[in-house]
Each structure stands twice: as structure tokens, then as C-alpha cells.
Structure 1
Amino acid sequence: MNMRRSVTALAATTALAGIASLGLAASAGAVTPAVESGTSHSAVVHPDGYEPSSVKTRGYCKGWVYTKKSNGHWFAKGVMSSRGGGYRWHCEMHIEREHGGGAYTQISDEHLASGETVSTGYYWDDKGYKVRICVANLDWGDQTFYCGKGV
């Protein structure tokens, strides 16, 4: 994968990612559950679904996993903010999932951001699964993704 993208491509895909973050479109395999209050399935209960142990930061590119319970099952999405320091950081992220202690596999499309917050759709994250966010700071010249802890 070539992480160095032109500014024009970044602007176009950032606009599309913004539409996706509104919930108007979802990637193949994404599930949009009904919003239901509940607690997180990590060791510490976080009623809002924010999973602090999942945070991964590269400069001002900050990503985390957000979980929701719907119809008795857990789902997770990746969220990334690219704001800070008075600069519009160019960041890229995706989420990966593993099952039963196996290898992580990318399950979402890559999402680009420039001075905004973007998110993936919701993906299955029930018993035996872990989801993690992977972030790259394009302004730092990252040629690989740096992944957070699976939750």
C-alpha cells in the first residue's frame, strides 16, 4: 500500500469519509445496529462505549474503538480525530479484528481525515472477538499503520 497520497486524493476521499461518518453509507460487512444503551464488554465498564485502552496516537492523529450493544450482541467501530496544534493533520486509519487469539485482519476500509473526525461503520465484536484501531500520520511520512490494543 502506498501511504503517500496526493493532497487532491486526500481531499476527495476525506469528503467521502465525511459522508460515511454521517451514517449515510457503510462498507461491505459493516453493520449498523440500533442504538441501545448498555455497558462495554471490556474489563472496565464504560457506559458511553468509549474504550480508553484502545487509543492509538501518532502526533495529532488520535484513534480509538467505540463499542455498542444491540440485540444482545456487541459491535465496534473505529473513530479518528486529526485536529490539534493549530494544524490540519493528514491521517489515515482502519480497524482490524481477531477471533480466539488468532491474527488480526483488516475489516474496514481505510479512512482519511484532514482536520476532522471520521469513523468506520459498526462491525461484529461479540464473544471471542477483539477489534483494534490502526493509525498512520501521513504528515510524519508513516509508511505503515500503528495499531492500538484490541478490545
Structure 2
Amino acid sequence: MIEIKKISVEEIDDFWKLHWEHLTNDVFGVVRGVGDREYYRGPVYRGAIREEMLLEKDEHHLVYLFENGTKVGASHFTIYRGAFGKCYILDFWIFPEFRNQGTGSRCFEKLLEHTKADGAQYYTVNVMTEACRQFWLRQGFEDDGKDEFDVPLMVRRSMPDNPSP
């Protein structure tokens, strides 16, 4: 059984440790540079996330993903209610020892259920590697150009009668 546990601002330091491991192992070694390392570990990025967690509208969510009581991954995302219910997934990762077993798909299905209950209508995510792109394609996403930083963007329109964003 998959469960989602919201992370509070008070618990954020533990999240940052796991996030740093994810970035170091899955992102920086593949596509990102030294400047990005400093940014993601620094006070500007982490301070902005902390501030967005405290917003009353369009609050940023940090969550742990559990399967049968074991922490198997994490994610953070924002649901923009004023943008047709856009859920922007900033990060979603499964810990290495739980990958390639269907865990990511099961966790994402639970995240869909969780976010739809909070107003999400469609989903966007940036992808850094072809392996990530393939994962999101299996989750029903499609390529949607690039963002303002020239990073590939994918979208999943979760409801057939959903107006295009």
C-alpha cells in the first residue's frame, strides 16, 4: 500500500539531505554544472521553497512516499489553482534500491489521487534524462516543448474534458 506523508517546514532539513543525494546521484553527474550545485544547496533556492511552503494559496508541498510502511521516495510540487489546476512537479524520485520494480508508477498513481483531491487538473514536469522521459511517458505524459531555461517539459492532461492550459 502506498502512502503519502506531508513534510512540514520543521522537517525540511531531513528532506534536503535526501534531495541532495538525489541531485548528486541522478542529476548533476548527468546534465548539470557546478553552478547548479551551489544554487540547489544554497539559501536562495532552499529559502524560496521554504517561503512557498508557508503560502496560503498555491502552497508548495514536500512529501515522502511510503510503500508498506517503508520510505521509498520523495516529491515536491505546487498546485496552481488559478492556472486551470496546474500541478507542477518540481521533483519526484524513488530511492535507488526501490527502482525498476514498478514502485515509481505505484507512487505516482497515489500522488495523482492525492493531488486531484487538492484541485489538480493537469500535470507538468521537466525532464533531465531520457530515462526520466521514458518514465513519464509510461505515466501518460507527452512532450510539451521546453521551458524558459531550455529544459524539456512534459504534460499530462488528466481529464479528457479539461481545457487546454
Could you say which structure has the higher strand fraction?
1
- Is the TM value for this pair above 0.5? no
With a CA cutoff of 8 Å and minimum separation of 6, indicate the structure with the bigger relative contact order.
1
Higher helix residue share: 2
TM-score (norm 1): 0.29
